[in-house]
Amino acid sequence: MIKIACVVGARPNFMKIAPILEAMKAYPEIIPLLVHTGQHYDFEMSQVFFNQLDIPEPQVNLGVGSESHAVQTAKIMLGFEKVVSHHKPDYILVVGDVNSTIACALVGVKMGVPVIHIEAGIRSGDKTMPEEINRVLTDHVSALLLTPTVFACDNLKREGITKNVYLVGDVMVDTLLNHKDKASNSGIKDTLSINGEDYCLMTLHRASNVDDKVNLSCIIDAVDYIQRQIVVVLPLHPRTKAKLVQFKLNDKLSSMRKVIITEPLGYLECLNLMMGCKFVLTDSGGMQTETTVLNIPCLTMRTNTERPETLMQGTNTLVGTQWITQDAQKILDGNGKQGSYPKVWDGHTAERIAGIISKL
């Protein structure tokens, strides 16, 4: 029997762990222990994903809540160390690059429990991003590294990591393909009164954008330009909401006639809107992958990406904060970028992951 402590903590983790837990059911020798650190904890950012993706209730919830990066990471480590001591897992499985990922990976390696990293090897090259630090450090303490692309394998090789590296694909694609039909039945367009209308789906949360008043002002100006032509649907992240108020930009955004601001949306609602939109405007990592698979133009408000395959093969374009309107206009004029995606993004990543783990 193989006991695996499977760690989740924040919204991006939930989409990744769901198909893995499902695939593990094919192997009775694998005993998953689902641990939720509570990094994201309210309904919109956590529980709705458990409900919509049929993720079982976690056996352990550390309930750490929102803190600074240092305090949050420390609290997770303190709580997870007790979990490892009590449950004695054979392996610790972490996904992605959030604080929960590095915190639990560090606990594992220090306690002599091998770490499995899902989504290993992705790199943006931008060490000002907390996620970049988390993913690099996690890879360098992991015993088994499961990568989404050939690019990720090459990144690990350049860093001297060649042992126990497997190309498995992107597990988020599994979740997307498994839930497209269900998402298509969502009534979110009726709820927002945009059925039959062209619209842009926008998400905005990254610190480099929302914590900088100049950058955030540029983005809001670009939104104003876009909404004069089509509707902009903006599910508002709590961090972004607070910064809009702090920088006195909230009234300007709220006054825009064709901007629809909502609370954070569930996975199915967001996927429904993504599938039907004219284009996506985002600073998210995962949406770059999802839009590429859906062949939806994506404008990424960053100057770098850890998913270069979405630029080289797919529909993604980096626009920073200065080129948003220029590239948005190209799409509105019918010149949106078309693309393809890696063959290994076939919806069977979780099955490959479970198969590898079963042989440990």
**pLDDT of 241-297, one tens digit each?**
999 999 999 999 999 999 999 999 999 999 999 999 999 999 999 999 999 999 999
Angle between the N-to-C axes of helices 99-110 and 130-141, in degrees from 0 to 180, rounded to the nearest 10: 30
The whole-number pLDDT of residue 10 equals 85
pTM of the model: 0.95
Report in angstroms the alpha-carbon separations of 312 from 38, 337, 356: 36, 11, 29
Q: What is the CATH number of domain 2-170+345-358?
A: 3.40.50.2000
Any idea where the domains of the chain sit in the sequence? 2-170+345-358, 179-332
The whole-number pLDDT of residue 274 equals 98
Q: How many other C-beta atoms can be found within 10 angstroms of the C-beta atom of residue 26? A: 12
Q: 3-class DSSP state for residue 114?
A: coil
Angle between the N-to-C axes of helices 11-24 and 349-358, in degrees from 0 to 180, rounded to the nearest 10: 60
- CB 17 within 8 Å of CB 55: yes
Q: Which CATH superfamily is domain 179-332 in?
A: Glycogen Phosphorylase B; (3.40.50.2000)
Could you say which of 40, 117, 179, 205 is catalytic? Answer: 205
Residues contacting 122, CB < 8 A, separation 6+: 97, 135, 147, 148, 149, 151, 152, 155, 306, 307
Averaged pLDDT for residues 320-348? 95
Mean pLDDT, the chain, rounded, equals 95
The yes-or-no answer to whether 2-170+345-358 and 179-332 have a common fold is yes
Q: Is 205 a catalytic residue?
A: yes
pLDDT tens per residue across span 209-235 = 999 999 999 999 999 999 999 999 999
Exposure of 240 in the CB half-sphere (CA atoms within 13 A): 23
